[in-house]
Amino acid sequence: MPEQSWLLVPWCVFAVAAGIKFWQLNRGIRNQLRRPRPSTAAFRRTLERIWQLDPAANDDSTSRP
């Protein structure tokens, strides 16, 4: 290999490492897309439970007159 070609070796290593890192970071997104989505009713129950547990949401002093 000519000496100028050796400059491509670090870039190739970087490209492979970046590709592997990108694949790992997107693994969670890919897994999330494969899961079945919860029903609207279950999502509503979850939101209502969170709202009931949140003291700031139940504070009447912050409500509008």
Span 50-64, pLDDT tens digits: 999 887 766 655 555
Between CA 39 and CA 44 the distance in angstroms is: 9
The whole-number pLDDT of residue 18 equals 97
The average confidence (pLDDT) of the chain is 83
Q: How is the chain split into domains, by residue range?
A: 11-56
Span 23-52, pLDDT tens digits: 999 998 888 778 787 788 988 999 999 999
Q: Give the pTM.
A: 0.46
The whole-number pLDDT of residue 32 equals 79
The whole-number pLDDT of residue 35 equals 79
- 3-state SS of the chain is CCHHHHHHHHHHHHHHHHHHHHHHHCHHHHHHHHCCCCCHHHHHHHHHHHHHHCCCCCCHHHCCC
Residue type, 11: W
